[in-house]
Structure 1
Amino acid sequence: MGAQYYGADSENGDHIDDPSEDALFMMISDLNNSDNTFVVIQPDDDDPIWFASAAVLDEGGYEIVRRDVSRNEHGVTATTSINDIARDLTIWMAARDFPGRSARQRSESEHSV
């Protein structure tokens, strides 16, 4: 069975359906400068309307990209805290639209974050 909402994939082939904040923390912690430089999180759709990614920077730290075409959002930041990245991405993804999720479910998830 695939992801209910979204999946996370790393360059080295790791995949997690509907990753928790802790799972994202682990995936980002496993990144390195040689063969596992990024993690991408997006809905399991043929043409996803949003995505987020974390990539290792050569000078240290991570580049975080968030893009949501349905909301005309595109942001790029850099940080060194894996805790902050995992928490911020989890909160950001909770506010995204998912096919089959009612407006009430979206509203409740947005208010509970």
Structure 2
Amino acid sequence: MAETYCCVDSENGHHIDDPSEDALFDLIGELNDSDNTFIVIQPDEDDPAWFASVAVLDEGGYEIVRRDSTRREHEVDTDTSIGRIANDLIIWVAGRDFPGRPPRQTNTF
């Protein structure tokens, strides 16, 4: 059985291990302003070093928060395009450090 690196949880109880871009698209599309207002993506560990969340805005659209304490990153954006949000989040999550996964190697030439 493969190790789970991250998961996404929605306010209404949906939980997906290692979500795909399509899964994020679906979960964001299911958000509403009454009983399912946000999703959170984070490593599958206690006291995660990073997370991203998407929440419905009262005026329409979505607020996207990305926080990574190990890199001292904290970004807050808004957007109306579910596809763009899902794509951006998949790219951002791919760049995070995961427990049990070898660190990314970077070269400076």
TM-score (norm 2): 0.92
Structure 1 residues 50 and 96, CA, compared in 2 at 3 Å: closer, same or farther?
A: same
TM-score (norm 1): 0.89
**Pairs within 5 Å for 1:23-38:** 23-38=23-38
Name the amino acid aligned to 1:47.
D
Report if aligned partners of 1:65, 1:75 keep a CA contact under 8 Å in 2: yes
Q: Does 1:51 align with 2:79?
A: no
- Structure 1 residue ranges (4+ consecutive) displaced by more than 2 angstroms after TM superposition: none
Instruction: Tell me the distance in 2 between the aligned counterparts of 1:2 and 1:65.
Output: 28
Task: Considering fraction of residues, name the structure with more helix.
Answer: 1
Q: Does 1:63 align with 2:54?
A: no
Q: Does 1:80 align with 2:75?
A: no
Structure 1 residues 39 and 60, CA, compared in 2 at 3 Å: closer, same or farther?
A: same
Structure 1 residues 47 and 25, CA, compared in 2 at 3 Å: closer, same or farther?
A: same
Identity of aligned residues (%): 69
Instruction: Tell me the distance in 1 between the aligned counterparts of 2:59 and 2:3.
Output: 34
Q: Which residue of 2 aligns with 1:96?
A: 96
Gaps of 5+ in 1: 109-113
Gaps of 5+ in 2: none
Between Structure 1 and Structure 2, how many residues are aligned? 106
